[in-house]
Amino acid sequence: MPLAPKPTTPRGRRIALKVILGAAIVDAVFLAALVIALIAGGGGAVEILGPLYVFGFVYLLYLAATGAMQGNWGWRFFGLVAVTLGPAGAIWGARRMRTETDAQIEAEAEPAHRPTRKEQRRAAAEKRREG
């Protein structure tokens, strides 16, 4: 299973959030299926879906704790995932942090104005005339 990448860049944080979001969506599907199976009274389905949901929940806790230890985010995210029992808190927290990370990446990605070749030639011609 993939680990959350180290927080070397905001892009690494975005990748980690994508992994968490994917795991949370899968766990939400397991939770929904488990609830439906419980309502329908399917004992066999509950025996299969229950452990799958619990495994997904533990995996979300692991990813949240790994990201917090690596400095991708704070321990509040881990607490949010734990208190909401997995998918709901993970999806909400990951989406919120992803918008912050995307804004940070866009701010870093704005390149400085590079002169065009025409502007470079004009500046060089003016420099020759002056000196």
Domain boundaries, the chain: 10-110
Q: What is the DSSP string of 13-76?
A: HHHHHHHHHHHHHHHHHHHHHHHHHHHHT-HHHHHHHHHHHHHHHHHHHHHHHHHHHHTSS-HH
7 has a pLDDT exceeding 70:
no
- pLDDT given at position 83: 95
**Predicted confidence (pLDDT) per residue in 72-111, tens digit:** 888 999 999 999 988 999 999 999 999 988 888 887 776 6
- pLDDT given at position 6: 52
Q: Which residue has the higher pLDDT, 114 or 122?
A: 122
Share of the chain above pLDDT 90, in %: 56
